[in-house]
Amino acid sequence: DQQVKQNSPSLSVQEGRISILNCDYTNSMFDYFLWYKKYPAEGPTFLISISSIKDKNEDGRFTVFLNKSAKHLSLHIVPSQPGDSAVYFCAASAGSGGSNYKLTFGKGTLLTVNP
Amino acid sequence: NAGVTQTPKFRVLKTGQSMTLLCAQDMNHEYMYWYRQDPGMGLRLIHYSVGEGTTAKGEVPDGYNVSRLKKQNFLLGLESAAPSQTSVYFCASSLRRGLSGELFFGEGSRLTVL
């Protein structure tokens, strides 16, 4: 059973427009959520995170929104740049108090930003 | 600062052969992980370690063994490789558990089993 779902395998946007990547989760114990970015032939790198006590976290062009009642989060990139083209993984963990240290990843969404 | 280093980067094995992937981190992290990435499957946790001398099973541990004899190293072994183990393997480490959860990944090791 897939606990973290990224239902869009790919997304294509124009440079300068907004990119919205979506993620749904089923495990109500998840309380910390992260987004990772991965370029080809490289390891994933951490992008932004959000705790379940918040509904929004912003870092420059990147904003993550969390809707706990819908078990849904989204990553907004504004404005999108060609260098943002990569695979984006949503990840979640349970037990922010220190009892869990494993991340569960979604399958990823390939974002392509066209010049 | 090298971060997380994986060796080898590429390897081709025949079915039934054995091999070991080495992961080394120089960030003094307590926690280390081995993931595999397959097309359409995302990243799946194979084994992890919460400290020197400890190991635990993740989502897909069958066919793999691990050891954490030194804090900075985490080894992933395949005793008898199978074609289903063809994948890209990523090692990761993290400083602390819980609230942060941020993992630092290596560049990956591409393994092909014929």
d(CA B78, CA B19) in angstroms, rounded, equals 5
Residues of chain B with pLDDT under 70: 1, 96-101
B68 phi and psi, to 5 degrees?
-135, 75
Chain B environment of A44 (Cβ under 8 Å): 43, 90, 103, 105
Dihedral sign computed on CA atoms, order A17, B40, B49, A102: positive
Q: Which of B93, B86, B75, B76 is nearest to B113 (CA)?
A: B86
Q: Give the pLDDT score at A101.
A: 65
Residue A101 forms contact with B (CB below 8 Å) = yes
The predicted structure's pLDDT at residue B88: 96
- B58 Cα to chain A: minimum distance (Å): 8
Q: Do A101 and B104 touch (CB under 8 A)?
A: no
Residue B97: per-residue pLDDT: 58
- Residue of A32, A37, A38, A102 for testing the chain B interface, max B β-carbons within 10 Å: A102
Region of residue B59 (phi > 0: left; psi between -120 and 50: alpha; otherwise: beta): alpha
Joined together, the tokens standing for residue B9 give 């980067």
Q: Give pLDDT < 50 ranges for chain A.
A: 97-99
**pLDDT value at position A97?**
46
Residue among A45, A102, A108 whose CB faces B42 most closely: A108
What average pLDDT does chain A have? 92
Q: Look at residue A99 in the predicted model and tell me its pLDDT.
A: 45
Dihedral sign, Cα of residue B45, residue B51, residue B53, residue B54: negative
Q: C-alpha A83: how far from its chain's center?
A: 17
Q: Do B97 and A101 touch (CB under 8 A)?
A: yes
Q: Cβ contacts of residue B39 below 8 Å, gap of 6+? A: none
